[in-house]
Amino acid sequence: MAKHTQTDFFHHAPMMHMLASICLHVYNISMHTKHISLLESISPGLHIDPLDQEHIHAAQNHLNSLTKPRGSLGRLETLACRLFAISSGALPLSVSPALMLTVAADHGIAAQHVSPYPQAVTRQMVQNFLHGGAAINVLCNISGLDLRIVDAGCCGGAFPQHPMLVDRRLGDGTADFSQGSAMQRMTCLKGLRMGVELAQKTIQSGYRCLGIGEMGIANSTAATALYCAFLRRNPEDMTGPGAGADKTMIGHKIHVVRKALEVNKRALLGDAIDILAAFGGFEIVLMTGLLLGAAAQRVPVLVDGFISSAAYVAALAICPAVSEYAILAHSSAEPGHLLALHQLTGAVELDTPLLHLGLRLGEGTGGAIAYHLLRCASAIFNGMATFNAAGVLEKPC
């Protein structure tokens, strides 16, 4: 048997390093091709460009020239840089007008008694939205966002026409994913495509910023299963009270999610669309499409809490470049949310949620509150004077 000396190792080390670099390059090409393929399967020609780092640097240089100590406006400055890059350097920066899309649907998993509220509440809350009586109505009104309610598949059939209602129904709720897949792959693809096209339509009508929110009894269970599937988390870590489950019901939800992961284990070996079809809700699928569509149109999207972020996780799995266009509005009081976001962002300040208010309502409420911060970031970039223009010394004596 031939002996290999330390000298032999160092002689071959450059070759080994080169082979490793080639393998990594091939892997990156393979992953890029995979993401392109998934986008093409949703909508031919759909693509999402990463942000140009030169735009980020140019924006920071501009902010550094304004009459303030460098970096003294904190997250508003990083937001302004991102908005400048999203706009490809177009001025003035603007996130107005803006539209909140609250997407509603029902879930077959509700049959497993994972929520303290009956399934009928989904439909009742849609009616409340349309009559202007919910938290999202009030917060959108005070924050200056338009609001539309998207029916992605509430039980009970289509709603009567209403100026605020957008009909994108995929059915009368999903199937019970503790017994099998929540929906067929083709249904999931249809919902993703509808979300992409809805984003395109709203942006073409003039909107410069979108927000996503949701309503659906038992959708925290669907979101929990998606986090577990995409991020390989344990149900015990990710399961919380949702709409107010007590300790006993939370334990039951953990059992239901664990069973669902086992029942749908083949989907875990598939791609992101297989996983989304196995565990998602119609509203989560539509929101995933909205994220992809807005990013493709270079428009920022405010992502609400626990359930909306599950759509964000799915969108990231389809195309990681979505992260550059999605703005995480707030950290939910749902215990699994912060764990998931920390895993996704690595606690990098640029990607962490803007607000920590203990919210756990959904509907898009966190996004509606956070929208004002985007307006502030745009305003400081557009409106502040430079040191030269104001005749102010840039450096202290």
Catalytic residues: 363
Nearest to 278 by CA among 268, 292, 287, 286: 268
Q: Are 303 and 309 in contact (CB under 8 A)?
A: yes
Question: Tokens 């509430």 appear where?
Answer: 154
Listed in order, strand segments (DSSP E) in the chain are 98-105, 146-153, 165-167, 209-215, 301-303, 326-328
Whether a cis peptide bond, with omega within 30° of 0, leads into 353 is no
Distance of CA 254 to the CA centre of its chain: 24
Nearest to 95 by CA among 382, 386, 321: 382
- Count CA atoms closer than 13 A to 220's CA, side-chain side: 30
Spatial separation of the C-alpha atoms in residues 305 and 259, rounded to whole Å: 25
For β-strands 209-215 and 98-105, DSSP reports them as parallel
